[in-house]
Homo-oligomer: A and B are copies of this chain.
Amino acid sequence: MSSQSELIAKKARAAGNILKTASGENRSQLLYKIHDSLKANADVIKSANKLDLENAVKTNLSSALLKRLDLFKGDKFDVMLQGIIDVANLDDPVGVVKMARELDEGLTLYQVTSPVGVLLVIFESRPEVIANITALSIKSGNAAILKGGKESVHTFREMSKIVTETIIKYQDTTGIPDGSIQLIETRDDVANLLDQVDYIDLVVPRGSNALVKNIMNSTRIPVLGHADGICSIYVDEEANMNEAKRITLDAKTNYPAGCNAMETLLINPKLKNWYEVLINLNQVGKVTLHVTKDVKIEYLKVLKDLNLQESLESMVVDIDEEKEFDQEYLSLDAAVKFVNSTEEAIKHINTHSSKHTDAIITENEEKANMFLKGIDSASVYWNASTRFADGFRYGFGAEVGIATSKIHARGPVGLDGLVIYQYILKGHGQVASDYIGAGGQKAFIHKNLDIKNIKL
């Protein structure tokens, strides 16, 4: 007998197989309809959201979390609705011809983008995310199973109901079937779904480190996302001091809890007045610096000379090197270490970074290129803040997440990460045994065609 999770996963697979064949126009049309339905039902959604907020107050949720739960705070609901339209209006990521090659006369091979298939998307309690994920999934032709944080259960349930009703209502005109978007509610369901490797193609967890790590450790289904964002900046001896100060300050303090915030500062002590970078972080950024022994000795000496010891010393603490180079602070704290060369910086970063985003500050192009080539992270920067690592800043229109794995999609991931490709071969009765290598005499011609002129 099939389990409940297997039934959900099977239903998603069946829906995905049909959704895959819907035209880009119909996928966008459905998103406009979903936009309209959510807008028309704002009142019902608001009531459900109120219920969630009341329950949250009862369970003494923090004010930060309450703010997240409140879907009607400021223009949040309208921004969410506009987001659906924005995604609907993006170029269709499906059916794009990436390669066309004549294998022989009348035997042509095409590589064409196609949906990944079935997504399992797990996110926390922000109610607007359900609209965002629905839009991304349908736009990219993927069926999705959604699981949101339990604090927003009533809002999710109401919104999901409206989405499902809209899908069913327009099923005959769009060709997009019921089951394309399914909501699940309990943690048990997630655990069981993570076993459905035959039906689910990709897990997209959006949320806390702990959530993502836990998911990565409990499934054999590929996971698109990131747990840690341990980003480092190396300030070279040939750095422009003004840039070094501005960039490190921005990277650490613009949004300290962001996954693209600087956690480690590697600084070359041969840089003239290197300590200005640290003083700037201490004074302007109110950043506590977790420093190695040699940094501490040198820095405290400078602070004493500059009569800054009293005001800044409390923001200089000893680092536990065994631990702190491999963790995120997610706060106004940064690890600081001396490194004596670009090579040493590269080695430190390739050992300790989470392969998210790392930067070098230098005026020396040769060293910059060595760094850009040598660092094995999804994003590698020269003279820019790590905070630019973001799908919208990269110009992707939509962000699915930020991935730190080494295959499929890396760094900020747009709709491209939700599609893959298929090979389409169109022939006229050709068989392999006529060709060299399979018993025959014919040779392949392997002539590449200009994909600009090809529409399948």
Residue ID in chain B nearest A246 by CB atoms: B431
By the criterion CB–CB under 8 Å, are A384 and B430 in contact? yes
Q: Is A20 on the interface with B (CB-CB < 8 A)?
A: yes
| Chain B residues positioned under 8 Å from A220 (CB to CB) | 216-217, 219-220
Residue ID in chain B nearest A217 by CB atoms: B220
Residue ID in chain B nearest A350 by CB atoms: B17
Known: A255-B438, A373-B20, A444-B393. A407 touches B425 (CB 8 A): no
Known: A103-B388, A393-B437. A246 touches B424 (CB 8 A): no
Q: Which of A399-440 contact B (CB under 8 A)?
A: 405-408, 410-412, 420-433, 435, 437-439
| Chain B residues positioned under 8 Å from A405 (CB to CB) | 222
Q: Which of A234-282 contact B (CB under 8 A)?
A: 240, 242-243, 246-247, 249-251, 254-255
Scan A321-365; emit 1 where CB is below 8 A from any B CB, else 0. 000000000000000000000000010001000000000000000
| Chain B residues positioned under 8 Å from A377 (CB to CB) | 422
Partner of A432, one of B378, B388, B438: B388
Q: Is A372 on the interface with B (CB-CB < 8 A)?
A: yes
Q: Is A446 on the interface with B (CB-CB < 8 A)?
A: yes
| Chain B residues positioned under 8 Å from A117 (CB to CB) | 376, 406
Partner of A393, one of B381, B424, B435: B435
| Chain B residues positioned under 8 Å from A74 (CB to CB) | none
Known: A20-B374, A383-B426, A422-B377. A395 touches B103 (CB 8 A): yes
Complex CA gap A86/B437 in Å reads 17
Known: A406-B202, A438-B255. A430 touches B116 (CB 8 A): no
Of A17, A384, A435, which is in contact with the most chain B CB atoms at under 10 Å from its CB? A384
By the criterion CB–CB under 8 Å, are A381 and B427 in contact? yes
| Chain B residues positioned under 8 Å from A250 (CB to CB) | 431-433
Category for how many chain A residues contact B: 35 or more
By the criterion CB–CB under 8 Å, are A431 and B222 in contact? no
By the criterion CB–CB under 8 Å, are A240 and B429 in contact? yes
By the criterion CB–CB under 8 Å, are B383 and A427 in contact? yes
| Chain B residues positioned under 8 Å from A216 (CB to CB) | 220
By the criterion CB–CB under 8 Å, are A384 and B426 in contact? yes
Q: Is A140 on the interface with B (CB-CB < 8 A)?
A: no
Partner of A374, one of B21, B380, B438: B21
By the criterion CB–CB under 8 Å, are A429 and B393 in contact? no
By the criterion CB–CB under 8 Å, are B201 and A407 in contact? yes
A436 to chain B, nearest CB (A): 10
A197 to chain B, nearest CB (A): 9
By the criterion CB–CB under 8 Å, are A385 and B430 in contact? yes
By the criterion CB–CB under 8 Å, are A382 and B427 in contact? yes
Of A370, A374, A382, A394, which is in contact with the most chain B CB atoms at under 10 Å from its CB? A394
A427 to chain B, nearest CB (A): 3
Scan A28-57; emit 1 where CB is below 8 A from any B CB, else 0. 000000000000000000000000000000
Complex CA gap A71/B62 in Å reads 69
Known: A116-B406, A420-B406. A379 touches B425 (CB 8 A): yes
| Chain B residues positioned under 8 Å from A446 (CB to CB) | 395
Q: Is A121 on the interface with B (CB-CB < 8 A)?
A: no
Q: Is A181 on the interface with B (CB-CB < 8 A)?
A: no
13 CB-based A-B contacts, threshold 8 Å: A103-B388, A103-B393, A117-B376, A201-B406, A220-B220, A222-B222, A247-B429, A247-B431, A372-B424, A381-B427, A384-B427, A384-B431, A385-B431
Chain A interfacial positions (CB closer than 8 Å to B): 16-17, 20-21, 101, 103, 107, 109, 114, 116-117, 201-202, 216-217, 219-220, 222, 240, 242-243, 246-247, 249-251, 254-255, 346, 350, 368, 370, 372-374, 376-385, 387-389, 392-395, 405-408, 410-412, 420-433, 435, 437-439, 444, 446, 456
